[in-house]
Structure 1
Amino acid sequence: MHTPIPLRRLAAALAFAGLAGPAAAQYSTPMRDVENPDRAPFTMSASGGPSSPYVNGFVQFATPLGFRYFIDQASLVCTTASSTDQITLVQLATLQKTGANFLQSSYITPFIMTRIGPAPFGGWYWTGTAQLRAYSDPNIFDTNGGRSIFYNIFHTEASSATSCSGTIVGHTLPLAQ
């Protein structure tokens, strides 16, 4: 036998169900464009590397004032002039503002490099890539923002040059002024 539902409880349940639908679709805090990483993606490339007589050199990337760069992927391709030269260490470094007048450098190591084959005119190709989560602030002591993202590349033969080309990919967010 079926027990009838009191009319008041049925009316209250229907009224509540009608209110719950639209309220669930509303957001309490709307998303701002600056919180969406797809709004300002970036890809930057730069070249450099160790030159004779040094065993280390740099590939540097600029960070303009007013923005924080979030790095999602980094890659590096180097060509050694000698087939016996080896890239022993690559450090990706970023600057972070830790106070009103203070910057701190953070090193992301090790960045693994692999020798992949002979270069067309002698020497060898080396390559490395990494998925990561890092960020960089502009250099507050440089009026243009400076070069606050860089690879520090070490190799074994100080008498030969190594040329490298690096790329970083990520997104930017404006810094609060």
Structure 2
Amino acid sequence: MKHKIYPFLASILFLFNALGAAAGEPVIPTEVSEPPYSVGDLVMEQGYYIDRGEGETRINLRFFENRLRLYWIDENGLIAEPESSEATVRFLGTIGTQQRYNLLVSLPEGAGLGAPGLVPPPHIFNLILHIPASGERGELTHNIRYIAALNEPVDPTQGE
């Protein structure tokens, strides 16, 4: 009888360990969210991404309804908490007849930063993104060549 109890107890312990490991893993959504986004949403891959290295969020600059949006994307492709409450985008050259600066401020949903002004297509620019220092993060300044092809969404749930 003792020999039958040991395998039974071992299998129960194995199941508890498996359930504990599964509970600690983040739940990754399988459906792509539609704007306006919230923290934790899975989004279409679109726009310009700044990769900051292993273990860091990627910064995503994109256009939504001809307005600039800035999001922080985690390693699972989900919207992460913004690491700054403001940023500045400076368009190099002119758009129409004026030089443009856009101040990006927190979106009402709290998932990223956005600019209220419209930027008419075609979205082909050289621009500079500047995110000031906040907390333990230093400032970030990045030159970007944004082309119209970056506006095409790619579904991250589809295989390559």
TM surpasses 0.5: no
Name which structure has the greater RCO, CA cutoff 8 Å, separation 6+.
Answer: 1
Q: Which has the higher strand share?
A: 1
- The TM-score, its normalising length taken from structure 2, stands at 0.31
Larger radius of gyration: 1
- The TM-score, its normalising length taken from structure 1, stands at 0.29
